[in-house]
Structure 1
Amino acid sequence: MSNDTDTGLDLGRRLRALRLAHGLSQRALAKQAGVTNATISLIEAGRMNPSVGALKRVLDGVPVSLSDFFAFEPKAERQVFFAAEELTEIGKGRISYRQVGGNLFGRRLQILHERYSAGADTGRAPLSHDGEEGGIVISGRLEVTVGDERKLLGPGDAYAFDSAIPHRFRAVGPHDCIVVSACTPPSF
């Protein structure tokens, strides 16, 4: 790996840890900073090394100064077991994403307990990011679209795919949908 890539990954991991420490999803930070969700995703994945001006704009969405950002030293979480009430809510609105662990700095896996209110979806614009993800529907019905493929899943059904392929999720029917999912690397 080159130094530029190492610097980008360090910057991305630092931004992700800071964002999560402030309880913001990528989408919420993007909205507050006035940038696209893809910008936040690319920075956190180490695929975009922003200019100082662009980074300052993103950090204004937290808000935190450049000096505080570079002084921020996230520590890897060492907790092994998590009670239900210890899961960290990182979603907003009609979709709840309860994450196992509050600080994923230094971790390579993200695990979520997801609750989609009846009719809720991840938005018209498909999601796309580096990594892989998979999940199992616990209850309710979930329509999963990955690229040109679409499938309605029910309890016990599962999905797994390359997260770089554009994808979206939608709860179908009159009941909430519960999903347990995992993503590597953490990208939400």
Structure 2
Amino acid sequence: MEQDVGFRLRLVRLRHQLSQRALAKRTGVAHATISLIESGRTSPSVSALKRILAGIPMTLGEFFSDELPPAESEIFYRAGELTEISGGEGISYRQIGSARAGHALQILFEHYDVGADTGLNMLHHEGEEGGVILSGQLEVTVGEATRVLKSGDAYYFNSRQPHRFRNVGKEPCTLVSSCSPPSF
């Protein structure tokens, strides 16, 4: 397993045209540690590997997926090529591009049925996110602030703040959103 992690890390680092020293500088992880991991002589903890991958940037899920990220990703996507990712009851998140492409930005085409809600437990994660409502209405709560947004309205906030989304309108809501770094 250690050799697989080391081999993958080296391959991913090289695909992103980073030297071990450049990656070490980006992440604050010692160059020697990265070298030991890549050579299979040590196994990183989950937190250390996560910190290293943040310098690429790449999630643990992308790193351990069956396929390594392609050196170059697609540019254009037809509607049928968007990838459905888990959204929950009455919510659809269709991702533009592959999660394995090593993107620093995640873009979603979202759909909320009438009454759909991300849940009572507020979401929070590293990064920033924003979106523009295309149709319908969406109640957006960020921290203590709540606002009902309509077609053409937008939001943008630091994702570390607790947040929640809910369709309070009488028709489905669609929007395009983005977050950086990718959180799904």
TM-score (norm: length of structure 2): 0.67
Structure 2 partner of 1:118:
114
Distance of 2:124 and 2:177 partners within structure 1: 16
Measured on the aligned residues, the alpha-carbon RMSD in Å equals: 2.3
Structure 1's 166 and 76: CA in aligned 2 closer, same or farther, altered over 3 A? farther
Aligned residues: 138
Q: Which has the larger radius of gyration?
A: 2
Distance of 1:70 and 1:91 partners within structure 2: 17
Alignment of 1:79 onto 2:79: no
Overall identity of the aligned pairs, in %: 49
Distance of 1:182 and 1:101 partners within structure 2: 12
Please point out which of 127, 149, 173 is paired with 1:131: 127
Letter in 2 for 1:16: G
Distance of 2:152 and 2:59 partners within structure 1: 36
Structure 1's 74 and 137: CA in aligned 2 closer, same or farther, altered over 3 A? same
Tell whether the 8 Å contact from 2:29 to 2:52 is kept in structure 1 after alignment. Answer: no
Structure 1's 128 and 108: CA in aligned 2 closer, same or farther, altered over 3 A? same
Q: Secondary structure at the match of 1:17?
A: helix
Structure 2 partner of 1:94:
90
Distance of 2:66 and 2:153 partners within structure 1: 45
For structure 1, the 5+ residue unaligned runs are 19-68
Please point out which of 41, 45, 62 is paired with 1:17: 62
Tell whether the 8 Å contact from 1:90 to 1:96 is kept in structure 2 after alignment. Answer: yes
TM-score (norm: length of structure 1): 0.66
Tell whether the 8 Å contact from 2:111 to 2:174 is kept in structure 1 after alignment. Answer: yes
1:79 positional shift: 0.2
Letter in 2 for 1:131: G
For structure 2, the 5+ residue unaligned runs are 1-26, 31-46
Distance of 1:73 and 1:107 partners within structure 2: 13
Letter in 2 for 1:143: E
Structure 1 partner of 2:50:
8
1:105 positional shift: 3.6
1:33-85 deviation digits (Å, cap 9, x = unpaired): xxxxxxxxxxxxxxxxxxxxxxxxxxxxxxxxxxxx49863335510000000
Tell whether the 8 Å contact from 1:14 to 1:72 is kept in structure 2 after alignment. Answer: no
1:9 positional shift: 3.5
